Amino acid sequence: MPEHRATISQVHASRSPTDQAWDEALSRVEGYLRAHHLESRWLLTQLAATIIAEARAGAPRRAAEEPVAIAMRVTHARIGAWLARAGDESGWAHERDRAHGRLALVIANLPGRWSDYFLSAEPVPRELAAAMASFQFQPGPELRFSNMPPAPLEFGFDEAGDPQAGRHGAWLLVRAASSWLIVVGLIGVAWAASH
């Protein structure tokens, strides 16, 4: 198993028990590393502790920053340096580059086979570097506008060229006239009954 820089006891010796801001930073770093599919609890704790120790060592130079921001900066720098050693030339400065690196780790089966080498000081195995280098984003299909005319809408009405349109029109007129006669007749009956 690869050796990491510090042990947990060395980190805990330099840490005061009541420092909540650094506890929060440790929790965030552990969560971030867990998001990289690092499942081993021991390895996760060890890596997070060494990152927090490095962040605490650099904290006096960045007194205006919160411990969480310092720890995440150190985490990003560590992962970026490790990916550069693994052969990823994209860098780690932009979110797109970080997403590319995370996906390359998943494609290379980091959690299943290579978790002991993630962020370690040992050289990256050739198989892992080759698996990560083989990952590439594939562009999606381009959107193209079409000049296709819209299809005619059908509303269920008779069309003007229909040979039975005249017969349908006559029946429509008869139905409308008979409806009006019934309405007028009912009004007449109501008027006669009231007078």
Type of residue at 119:
L
Angle at 117 between CA 88 and CA 66, to 5 degrees: 75
How far apart CA 71 and CA 25 sit, in angstroms, is: 6
Axis-axis angle for helices 95-107, 126-133 (nearest 10): 120
Q: What is the pLDDT of residue 13?
A: 46
H-type helices in the chain, by residue range? 8-13, 20-35, 41-58, 67-85, 95-107, 126-133, 165-194
Q: What is the pLDDT of residue 146?
A: 74
Q: What is the pLDDT of residue 9?
A: 47
Type of residue at 42:
W
Give mean pLDDT in consecutive 10-residue pieces for the chain, a chain of 195 residues: 50 55 89 80 86 85 84 85 71 68 70 70 75 69 76 67 62 89 96 91
DSSP state of 5: S
Take residue 13 and report the two structure tokens written for it. 């010796």
How far apart CA 48 and CA 33 sit, in angstroms, is: 8
Q: What pLDDT, in 10s, does the model give residues 40-82?
A: 788 888 888 888 998 888 877 877 788 888 888 888 888 888 7
